[in-house]
Structures are given as structure tokens and as C-alpha cells.
Structure 1
Amino acid sequence: MSSTALKYAYYPGCVAQGACRELHLSTQALTQALGIELIELKKAACCGSGTFKEDSQLLEDTVNARNIALAEELNLPLLTHCSTCQGVIAHVDDRLKESQQSDPAYLDKVNGFLQKEGCSPYRGSTEVKHLLYALVTDYGYKAIQQKVTKSLSGLKCAAFYGCYLLRARKTMPYDDPFNPQAMENMFEAVGATPVYYRGRTQCCGWPLSSYATEQSFKMAGMHIQDAIATGADCMVTPCPLCHLNLDSRQPEVEKVIGRKLGLPVLHFPQLIALALGVAPKQLGLERHIVSTRPVLEKLGL
């Protein structure tokens, strides 16, 4: 597809502006290198990370209807770089679009709350798309390949998709939710070698971490060990919550499983930006808990 004049309403999410600030930085650096314009939705609210609906489905729908309406005001697709945000907001978008036909009274109720707050109504006129699939479907593998100035040849990458990206919605329009290939295809487009392992489409364990910490860390450890067993030089994830459990908590994971791991975990835009010649310093690679130096050394950076 054409890679010209791409523009999105950018929903950075909470984690990328806090604990994973490097994701925000690398997304900006990558899109700038590709000539993609991002209009940040600075008035957007947290999507709720799936927790709002535990108390009220109406709360989750109303909060995210407002987020989507902010993008609709700009007549742009809503772009996120968080698998969890993608899963939650896109699921709400699907549900509200269905309600336009099957239960318009419910949508009127949601829009009534928005009106009381002086917000624009949800119209169902746009789409919610993760950065990964925006690059795949809107920009295209070939166009990405043509932008590569630093091939990642020799680097073995293990994708970790995160469950919200693949299976939060009733349908997955861009990929196979049980055997996705988008990340692996993107690795190949920038010269890296994808490796396949059992846990690449499973949960990282983050949702369990607040009440079943040991089980959460065992899950993360299992996935990291499986990736290491395939010969991976790094894991690459499109979800900052997965990144927190796999990278930030990797030292704690090591204590729980009684084994040293030391596998670097990169955010998806960091990897692609490296291939486009963006300097590692611009991508916040020094912010990771597990050193990314082995990756940079293998690439001669």
C-alpha cells in the first residue's frame, strides 16, 4: 500500500509516558524517519487496561468512546503502540459499532455521558490500529525494506505479541490470532532472522503479577527460557506491559526460577528504527533493565 502522507491520531497510553518512556521516544523517532505524522491526543484518558469492565462495562465503553471520539474529531485513525490499549479500545470500538445497529439506546446512553462532559459524541467513523499493523497494512513491508540503511542481518529475534493484541476482539482483521506472522515478516524486511518458540502468542504473566507474583514470574521465565533455547539474541514486543514483565522484572524472574537469563527485550519500534539508521541514544535503549549492549554489539553499533 502507499506510504505517502500517512497521518494518525496518536494515543500514547500511560505506560509509554511513564515506566516505558523509551517506547514513546522510539515511536516518535520511527514515525519521523518514515515520514508519518502523529497528532498526539493529549486529552485522552487511560483505556483502563481491561480493569474498568470488572466494575462496569458502561464505564469502559464511555471512557474509550471519548478516546475514539477525539480521533474522530480529527478525521484520523487512532494509532496506539500498546497491545493492551489496542485490545481494549478496539474491542470497545467493535462493540459500539455493533450497538449502532443492534442497541442504539445503549450508544445513546454512552453519548449522553459524553455530552454532559462537553465531549464530542462517538460516531463509529474511524478505526483503531496498532503501530505494527499500521506499518504492515498502510506503509507496507516493501516500503519499509526500501528505507533500511542498517540491515539487521545476523540478529535472531523472538517475537512476543502479547495476548491483547491478538485475541481481545471477536475478529482479528490483520493477522492470524493463533499463528501471527506480522512481526516475523517485519523482522525479515529489515534483515533480521525470526525465531519461533512456544510462548510467542501467550500471556506474559503481567495480569497476574499483582496477586500471583510467583506464578507471573514463572510464566515470564518460561517464555524467556524458550526464546533463549531457540538461539534468540533478543525478544521484541509490541506491548509495554509485556516489556515490564519480561525486561524490567527479569532480575526478579531469575530469582524465582533460579536461573540466569540476561535476554534483552526490545520494543518493536526500537528494532525497526535501528534498521532505519536511528541512533540507539534516540531510542532510549540505555533505559532497559537488561542491557541491550549485546544486540548493539552484534549489529556493530
Structure 2
Amino acid sequence: MVLKYAYFPGCVAQGACRELDQSTKAVSRSLGIELIELKKAACCGSGTFKEDSQLLEDTVNARNIALAEELNLPLLTHCSTCQGVIGHVDERLKSADSEYLNQVNGFLNREGCSPYQGSTEVKHLLWALVSDYGLDAIAAKVTRKLSGLKCAAFYGCYLLRGQDRPLDDPFNPTSMENLFEAVGATPIQYRGRTQCCGWPLSSYATEQSFQMAGKHIKAAIQAGADCMVTPCPLCHLNLDSRQPEVEQVIGEKLGLPILHLPQLVGLAIGISPSELGLDRHIVATKSVLAKLGK
């Protein structure tokens, strides 16, 4: 059976960090997963809409979900923040009373949009790979085991605690570590892997945001990590793109490569580093490729 999803790429992966969208599509093609991109989808709001109006957040994301429902497909994200926001909206609307749901759908109808029906699910790429595709099937696709590569998972906060019913333990998750092992890499445990990267603070408390990011990166380095792997473009921004600024704030050199989850999987299943966009990172990934003999 071919896995097929309505793909919600989000904003960051199509703007500041295009290598994340690029690698997600490359891995999906290689694994035979079909992605139908939701080109009419809107930004999920990354949790900011509800600061002004919960109804606004619910209506915007009810429309996003309805676009997937039109295709009769699950909505696939590759962003922890998008997963947390859209997934929680889906949970809330599925249990909402008819009056509130009619209000949301009334706004959608006014704009000529399909109504939200609650007929599909919102799923992060990590859950799709682990639960739908399966670890054994991924292991069977590996053409070059990532033996000797020590990977520190950075789950962040939204993926694990953004919804009422997360698909992994919110405080002691294992999904990413299990995936690392399936492709031959060694998982590294360290304090901070389930904490916030600091991105939500970055616009108004930049120094504190960078201190948070630096603390997590340092902990991963001290635990022996060769790289950090994140399932979230916003975490990627704070941990990779801003790592030079983080170094200035904490007064220490870090230089830890940050990989997006599909980039790690892609290396194991034979996709070239350039096709995965590894040459677009701020922190060079050459040390990771050298470790793998690439």
C-alpha cells in the first residue's frame, strides 16, 4: 500500500530554511511516500493567533485541515510547532459543541472554503515514519548504515506537549532514538532534549533565547554528540541559523551541526548531501559527512 498525505510544509521550511522542505520531499520520494502539497494552506500562526483570539486560530487551522479533508488524506506536517498548533485545533474542534463549530464553519463558508468536518488526522513526519511506514521497513531501505554517528535528538516542546494526546511520552520519548537505531546511528541522551529551544522568546528576549539554545547545544556536545537532530524548522532556526549569535552571547565556541530529521534518514537511504540541502546550513555539516566517509 502506498502511503499518501496532504503535505503542509509550513513557512520556515519554504523560506529561511528551504533545505528542510527539500529534504522532506527527497526522502518521501525515495521511500515511495506520496505528498500532495497544500499550496493554498495558510500559516498555522505558531501559537500567536490565540494570544489575540482563539477563534482566529481555530478558524485559520480549520481551513488548513479542511483542505486535507477535501483530498480525504491525513494532514502531514514536518514541523513540531505546526503539529502542536494544528493538531491541538483538530482535537479541540472534534470535541467542540455544535454552536462553536457552526461559528467556525460560518467564517469558512463566507470565504468560499470547505467546512471543517473532523474526518481526518494531523500527523507529524516523525510519527508517519515510525508508525505508518515502520522502523523495519526503513531499516530495509538503508544503503549505508550511519554507524559511529552519535546523534542527539532535540524534540523540543510543541511536538510532545502541544496536544492533549501525544504519540510519545512527553517527558521520556523514544521515537527519534528508535529511528536513529533503525538507520544505524547511536542515540545520545542529554538533559534538555525535550525542552524549549528558546525560539518563542527570540523576538522580545533575544539574549535569554540564545542562552537557552546554547545550554542545550553545550549539553549535547558534552554528552558526546556529533550532531543534533530536530523535527522542527523553528528549532532549526534557533539552533543552526543563529548558532554564531548564540556563541557570542554565551562566550563559547560550539560548532555543532544541526540536522533536520529527514536529512538524517536521507543520508542512510542513499540520498546525496546536496540533494538533502546539507550545504545550506549555517553550521557546516562537513564533520558529519566525514564521520560517514562522504
> TM-score, structure 1 length as denominator?
0.97
Matching residue's letter, 2:123 = K
Structure 2 CA distance for aligned equivalents of residues 5 and 210 of structure 1: 42
Q: Percent identity?
A: 79
Q: Deviations over 1:250-295 (max 9, x none)?
A: 0010011110000000000000010000000001101100000000
Q: Please tell me whether residue 280 in structure 1 is matched to residue 273 in structure 2.
A: yes
Counterpart for residue 90 of structure 1: 87
Counterpart for residue 144 of structure 2: 150
Structure 1, unaligned stretches of length 5 or more? none
Structure 2 CA distance for aligned equivalents of residues 193 and 95 of structure 1: 38
Structure 2 CA distance for aligned equivalents of residues 262 and 247 of structure 1: 9
Q: State the superposition RMSD in angstroms.
A: 0.5
Q: Please tell me whether residue 216 in structure 1 is matched to residue 216 in structure 2.
A: no
Structure 2, unaligned stretches of length 5 or more? none
Q: Please tell me whether residue 171 in structure 1 is matched to residue 165 in structure 2.
A: yes
Cα deviation for residue 169 of structure 1 reads 1.1
Structure 1 CA distance for aligned equivalents of residues 250 and 13 of structure 2: 28
2:54 to 57, 60, 74: 57
* Secondary structure, aligned partner of 1:282: coil
In the TM superposition, 1:108-119 aligns within 5 A as 108-119=102-113
In the TM superposition, 1:33-72 aligns within 5 A as 33-72=30-69
Cα deviation for residue 170 of structure 1 reads 1.4
Number of aligned pairs? 294
Structure 2 CA distance for aligned equivalents of residues 162 and 241 of structure 1: 10
Counterpart for residue 187 of structure 2: 194
> TM-score, structure 2 length as denominator?
0.99
Counterpart for residue 128 of structure 1: 122
Q: Deviations over 1:114-154 (max 9, x none)?
A: 00000000000000000000011100000000000010000
In the TM superposition, 1:23-34 aligns within 5 A as 23-34=20-31
Structure 1 CA distance for aligned equivalents of residues 150 and 44 of structure 2: 33
Structure 2 CA distance for aligned equivalents of residues 281 and 288 of structure 1: 11
Matching residue's letter, 1:39 = I
Structure 1 CA distance for aligned equivalents of residues 113 and 281 of structure 2: 38
Matching residue's letter, 2:73 = L
Structure 2 CA distance for aligned equivalents of residues 83 and 186 of structure 1: 17
Structure 1 segments, 4+ long, off by >3 Å, are none
Counterpart for residue 10 of structure 1: 7
